[in-house]
Structure 1
Amino acid sequence: MMDETVQKAAAQIANARNGVPQIKAFFDEPTFTASYVVHDPETRAAAIIDSVLDYDAASGRTSFASADAIIAYVHEHDLAVEWLLETHAHADHLSAAPYIQGKVGGKLSIGRAILQVQEIFGKIFNEGTEFARDGSQFDRLFEDGDQFTIGNLQATVLHVPGHTPADLAYVIGDAAFVGDTLFMPDYGTARADFPGGDARTLFRSIRRLLTLPPETRLFLCHDYKAPGRDRFAWETTVAAQRAGNVHVHDGAEEEAFVAMREARDATLDMPKLILPSIQVNMRGGRLPEPEDNGTRYLKIPLDAV
């Protein structure tokens, strides 16, 4: 049964014949991340979703090749960037949103539950009072059911927590950008063992997403190539997920999912970039301020995560 927000999103999808977004994916293989430029072909207004700042953990060096490829595409197609959308505070890559914003503009946005992430990780990183835990690093904090536009394209926000407290899915035209909730059907679902995550909540969020119309195009934030598949993939549909997702296909039961997810998560290593990523992404992708020697530093809390 659809709740009111999903009903709004479903109605938007049904009426999207006159407003189908153009979507370009950029896949960053070092972090297995898919970023997207979504634009309205009529007005050329655009949104950029889940961008990547290149970061070498061994040297601590940042670079901008991934972000510059997105910027080049924006210029090549004469797009006007209205939004920089984050599905959540990523634990596996640093966001390039502030860098891109400085080049092409756009409002930086995330879910209001980022405040919970800032509170949790503000303590883990022992951030002082100078670190604002009110989401003020972002231009807009979305809530479940919020709607906005990209040119003439309609967009609806769904709060889909579980992987983290702050995960959002953005339904834009006939497409949904679901972040880390789901992977390709042959790979399954996201982990739920980060601070603030919860497997039961994740299951319910995914079932909510899968009540969208079967033809809804789903765009994922990651792919890791399931066993037996030799190519990366990041686009699927609600129908394909309901028919074949190895963890949450139709008929999958909540208790069995929770037991599976918790047991599986207990065997997983932490993402190799979780500490730098969260530390930066909870600031809206901004690096910590330079210290008195002019150098920026990231903290590594020992035995804390």
Structure 2
Amino acid sequence: MDDFDHTADTTGVLDEALERLHAAGPERQGWLSNHAPMAVEALVRHGHAPRVHRWIDAYRDKLEDMPAPYARVTPENWREALGDPARIADWADHFERETAERPWRDVLAEWWPRLLPGIAGGATHPVIRVGHAVRTLLTSEETAPRVTELAHALGYWAARHQPLPPLTDLGAAPTAAAALDAVPAVPDQSAGIRHRLAQLSALPRWGADGMEPETARDRLAELVTAATHRYATHAHGEPVMLVHAATAPNAVLRTLPALPRALWAPSVGAAWAASGAVTAAYTPPGPAPYTAGQEAGAPTAEEVFERAAAHGDDHVIKFADTALDVGDPVALTAALRAVELIDREDG
């Protein structure tokens, strides 16, 4: 994983963008996610800071004000507030207070195991937003807007926390790619993700608690690579939603360095559950081979991200960001597939 491009943000564009966005809530129309904080972080990271404010201007119609608060989240009542989307503002306020009073790493370490079982909530967008926020804090200056961004991301996750239903174990898969191939599609794929996830009943077993932290990190990287590669041949099932089969586990992978090592192995199982669940919800009946981008003279990583940034869709940008983390020709092909298949208005 590459380091933050400090030269790309010499004018403080990321902080300016986050300050603009923090008046908005994490959703619109009651359930659609606000992708702007994640997309602008990726744009700045890859040297596209000059695009950011114009990008937000174009995205402005998809932003809604932060909802009104309901009741303060406290150490005594947080369990009853967990998973209540009506408490989005309450949770954001809670984590703003928490990160103002103690180091953000301590807050993250306390809440990560509490939030991890609900990783699929909000169609995995909350954990993805956390991953972008943590990456910035780990690799660049720790400014107030960047800490606030982590607070809002954690608050969104807490409000949308949604455990998956009990799942039957379909047996162990030898690799992440084999595990994804063995995921059975949910029966009814005619509605939104909440309806689809409610039908999830079984997944192959891949990754397990008890592994050494370094092994856990390697397993997560394997899963991110497998899901990114699979997008190149299976994205036609649902180009927007299948992005998250790769970006959700990558968010977990990005967060590991900020967590106590004892939390690394449990994170693998949750990341697999999220990736497997999205795959089950949207996987097509079969692959559609796609080789463009692998020919001689194929675009470089920088050229691929330039195409994603020029396209402008938030999912395209975030998926290209993950594909560049993987970095191989198949991953870059997958990013080009997203550019091809996702309409600019889909996000």
- TM-score band w.r.t. shorter chain: under 0.3
Q: TM-score, normalised by structure 2?
A: 0.25
Greater per-residue strand proportion = 1
Q: TM-score, normalised by structure 1?
A: 0.27
